[in-house]
Structure 1
Amino acid sequence: MIQLEIACFNPESAILAAQAGADRIELCDGIEVGGTTPDLETTQKVLTQVPIPVYVMVRPRGGDFVYTDAEFQAMKGSITDFKKLQVHGLVFGILKEDETLDEERNRLLVALAHPIPCTFHRAFDRVSNWETALEQIIDCGFTTILTSGTKANVVEGIHELQAMQQKAANRIAIMPGGGLRSSNVRQIVNTTGVHFVHSSAITDGGTIANPEEVIALKKESNA
């Protein structure tokens, strides 16, 4: 059974996605910049209203994934706060200015989050060498990589996703996301062999997941 994670930017979207059959929620703020850290009140609300696992984004701002010391401290504070709320997972990623992985900082955040599982988000698609970064991310202790195959979307990156899945060799979950829709998810799953997929399921340009798209994503990914 292919598992479906839905990126949600408000409680309403999370509730609708769960009701429509999503297996997991990625909770974010800042839809206009592709996701930032949600506030504690919103996170608590979603945790009490949604009966499926909730992974929470830890990203202090939009833009690149190279962070100042102050931003890194803010990320540490967010992880500590979310642990107290007993979130089910955390989503983050830090790079260096040369587009390589910041192993030291990522490792520190994964250790701080323990035993909560951590997803390395689409900062992965900015790295200069994905094969090297993949091994480093595994070594840091992440359990999942969210990626479009380093391309603009999952369709363009389908062959890279296939290669990533093979190289990962069940050591970490490769989760395609970025332009993933019910119209292409079957092709992505069948070609790559992944077991988890990610989509916002937003079809109208707004901020709310479309329940019909969630249902179609789930059906098509397991067809």
Structure 2
Amino acid sequence: MSGRQLEVCAASFASALAAEAGGAHRIELCQNLAQGGITPSYGLIREVRRQLSIPVFVLIRPRPGHFVYSPAERAIMRADIEQCRALGCAGVVLGVLDAAGRVDVAACQELVAAAGPLPVTFHRAFDECPDQAAALEDVIGLGCQRVLTSGGQPTAPAGLPRLAALVRQAAGRVSVMPGAGISPATIRAVLEGSGAREFHSSARGPVVPAARGLFGVAEAETDAAVVAELVRRLAE
């Protein structure tokens, strides 16, 4: 069925290429997934933009950890957004909370303004909001195009009841995009149980032992075959 889309979270150049090769509709480009992802380097953004024909959304997150940002950190985020615009990226992915875990509307308005015409995805900072129904209205009021969420649970399959409620509440005003735990084995259940139309997955294959670095740590790359299987199951 048309209209369903797969966004792949790519944390390297190789993963970005694999996402496109597998048929992903869009990528979210980041680095350091082991700590939840941060803004990728200028060089990575530029080279991915040069090589890919599918839309590239860039994660705007200056550091790992919580989503309450200082004025200096927000200035860095604005500068990164401006850089993404200059490089011709298709959109940005961001989120700022206040100390109570609510959407920091004023801070997010600054960043959305910096994005200008670029579509904005509100990322999984949303899952730390204690009142997701109120948070969704804030995200809609900001003019975001979509919100990435696992329904407040560790994985989207575990958060299905909340995801379905959010999709109903959104009523087409924003796309509720399930993410976390989306695999070929789970994507149909999440699709059918949530009513969502867009889905987010890292689509990673196994870690290749030879790829381990100096400290014996390696992140699995996106696997084009896994991406293709996810796309196939979405189209069933």
Shared fold (TM-score greater than 0.5)? yes
**Aligned residue identity for 1:170:** G
Among 9, 12, 16, the residue aligned to 1:10:
12
What amino acid does structure 2 have at the position aligned with 1:209? T
Letter in 2 for 1:213: V
Which of residues 75, 92, 103 is equivalent to 2:77? 75
* CA positional deviation for 1:30: 1.2
Residue matched to 2:39? 37
Instruction: Provide runs of 4+ in structure 1 moved above 2 Å.
Output: none
Unpaired segments of 5 or more residues in structure 2? 208-218
Distance 1:106 1:88 in 2: 19
Could you tell me which amino acid in structure 2 is paired with residue 218 of structure 1? V
Corresponding residue of 1:48:
50
Question: Identity over the aligned pairs, expressed in percent?
Answer: 36
Measure, in 2, the Cα distance between the counterparts of 1:73 and 1:23. 31
TM-score, normalising length from structure 2?
0.93
Aligned equivalent of 1:110 = 112
8 Å Cα contact 2:127/2:150 also seen in 1: yes
Question: 2:177 aligns to what SS in structure 1?
Answer: strand
Question: How many angstroms apart in 2 are the aligned matches of 1:215 and 1:82?
Answer: 28
For residues 125-136 of structure 1, the aligned pairs below 5 Å read 125-136=127-138
Measured after TM superposition, the shift of residue 8 of structure 1 is 0.3
Q: Hey, what does 1:210 align to over in structure 2?
A: 223
Structure 1 residue runs without a partner (length 5+): none
Contact 2:151–2:163 (8 Å) recurs in 1: yes
Amino acid at match of 2:100: D
Q: Contact between 1:9 and 1:207, CA under 8 Å: does it hold in 2? A: no
**Alignment partner of 1:90 out of 85, 89, 92:** 92
Aligned residue for 2:7, secondary structure, equals strand
How far off its partner does 1:108 sit? 1.2
- Conserved? CA contact 1:189–1:195, under 8 Å: yes
Q: Name the SS for the 2:45 alignment partner.
A: helix
Cα distance, 1:69 vs structure 2: 1.2
Larger Rg: 2
What RMSD in Å do the two structures reach over aligned CA positions?
0.8
1:7 is paired with a residue whose SS is: strand
Task: Give the whole-Å Cα distance in 2 for the aligned partners of 1:19 and 1:178.
Answer: 22
* 8 A contact 2:205–2:220 mirrored in 1: no
SS in 1 for 2:28: strand
Aligned residue pairs, count: 223
Give the C-alpha shift of residue 23 in structure 1. 0.3
